[in-house]
Amino acid sequence: MNQSISWGKIVVLVVAIVGVGTVAFLWGKQSNLVTSSVSMKTPPPVTKPIIKEQLATIEDNSIPPSYTDPMVDWYSEPKKVENFRFFSGDSAPEMVTYELGVIKSGEEKGDLLYSVVIDTKTTFGGVIWYFLKQKEGTLLFVKHLCDHDFFETQFNKYQYLDEDLSEKYKINQKIFSKDRYSSIILKSMEYPRELIIDGKILINTTSVLYDHMFDISYLKPFLHDSYYGTVYTTDEKKASTIIYENVFTQHRFYLRAPDGTYQQYDVNYSGIQNDYAFGINDLSVTWNDGSKNTAVYGEGIWYADSIEDKSGFRVTGKTKVGDAVYEYTENNSELREAFDKSLKYAKENMKESVEYGSSYDANVTFEDFVTKHPVVFLKDPFGRWMRFENGHFRINGI
């Protein structure tokens, strides 16, 4: 009887494992058209990646273990509060102030932690600083969380071209403690340079200066890390409904930080680009005839998670890691449309490209156009398709 129960448990376990694998496989089979651009800049390699992730099948809203900090009790959500009187006089730049948590140990125990985003009108958020509000009401600047010193920054009125750029907002020194700086270190706001997701390296590309609050409106859960929590990426269905791009529509990877902002990671694209010359657009491709790619390609755009019907595509080369490079077949209507757009631009605009140093030939034939690999398709390390256009042409007029 006991032996029968043991075998039953084993069967249930095997079925559960297979079920999880099936969900993860189906997740990767989405095929929605996407048009957001992606940067392929690869920062210098970093050694000793230490994080292990696994695919997520449901959204995880739990607070990650990384939010636990010996110095601060984070609020589950930042509280928007009245702005501090940072600046003297009646004028001040646009700003938003958030109360984030309470310091729970050390000399500053009981102080409140705040973040202030200044110049909130910018597309990608404003400059962000962190402060402690002491029990007597004065402020201390938390330099550990900022690359630039708040007291050494010049606040120009630069939002509108007709304003005098020589006029500056003056910092109100009266609201700060005589010490001005806090020596507090918040380890929960430190993120690794690298994450390993599904065996692939992600590089942290977050700017600590230009930031704003995490916004799930255009995101979907993509992976899960047992320490840093849910890893999100752009939801192409949601992103396609907006008329402008923002930081969360770039098809990168995003973690919600404990202060309510975000950490951004990008794929290591070293497998499909060269290690020199033009950087992000110098695709490392060997064509079928054995020649190496020398053309400069425009910034890649996300095409789809998968290309189910490959009848309109052909393999014309390989990346340096052996992945196939695809192009439209010659009878594909989209290739003909790309040629027509490129020819129209060449005739209506310019014959000489200052940017790429090559001529726009208004007399180019379709046959010549095809031989120059005008539009190519490659997969990123997660199997998502990207579309690149040869910089010799102006297929979309940009």
pLDDT at 110: 97
pLDDT at 15: 35
Round to whole Å and give the CA distance between 332 and 199. Answer: 36
Helix (H/G/I), strand (E/B), else coil: 114 = strand
More confident position, 91 or 225: 225
DSSP three-state, residue 137 = coil
**Contact (CB, 8 A) for 51 and 191:** no
336 in Cβ contact with 328 (< 8 Å): no
137-191: pLDDT as tens digits? 999 999 999 888 888 877 765 544 445 544 577 888 999 999 999 999 999 999 9
- pLDDT at position 359 is 55
Mean pLDDT of 43-66: 50
Instruction: Give pLDDT, residue 305.
Output: 67
pLDDT at 312: 92
Answer yes or no: are the C-beta atoms of 71 and 185 closer than 8 Å: yes
Q: Say whether pLDDT at 44 is over 70.
A: no
Single-letter amino acid, residue 139: L
pLDDT tens for 240-279 read 666 566 788 888 899 999 999 999 998 888 778 765 444 4
In terms of C-beta density within 10 A (0-12 exposed, 13-18 middle, 19 or more buried), how is residue 173 classed?
A: exposed
Q: What is the pLDDT of residue 254?
A: 93
Please state the rounded mean pLDDT for residues 100-124: 85
Q: How far is CA 78 from the centre of its chain?
A: 22
Please give the angle made by the CA atoms of 391, 304 and 244, to the nearest 5 degrees. 70
- Residue-level pLDDT at 128: 87
Q: Which of 77-81, 102-106, 157-161, 221-225 has the lowest mean pLDDT?
A: 157-161
Most confident of 78-92, 100-114, 143-157, 331-345: 100-114
pTM greater than the 0.85 cutoff = no
Q: What confidence score (pLDDT) does residue 152 get?
A: 85
Q: Tell which wins on pLDDT, 1 or 284.
A: 284
| Residue range 342-361: mean pLDDT, rounded | 64
Q: What confidence score (pLDDT) does residue 33 get?
A: 34
C-beta separation of 186 from 71 below 8 A:
yes
Q: Strand pairing of 324-328 and 313-319?
A: antiparallel
Write down the H helix ranges in the chain: 2-27, 236-239, 333-348, 366-371
Strands (E), 183-320: 194-197, 200-204, 210-211, 219-225, 229-234, 253-256, 262-267, 285-287, 301-304, 313-319
* Spatial CB neighbours of 312, under 8 Å, sequence gap ≥ 6: 328, 329, 332, 334
Q: Is residue 35's pLDDT more than 80?
A: no
CB atoms within 10 A of CB 112: 19
Say how many residues make up the chain: 398
pLDDT digits (tens, 9 = 90+) for 303-319: 776 777 888 999 999 99
- Average pLDDT of span 83-90: 85
Residue 56 has pLDDT above 90, yes or no: no
Over residues 189-238, the pLDDT tens digits come to 999 999 987 788 899 988 755 557 898 988 999 888 889 989 999 887 88
* Residue 94, pLDDT score: 81
pLDDT beyond 70 at 342? yes
Amino acid 308 reads: E
Q: Are 319 and 386 in contact (CB under 8 A)?
A: no
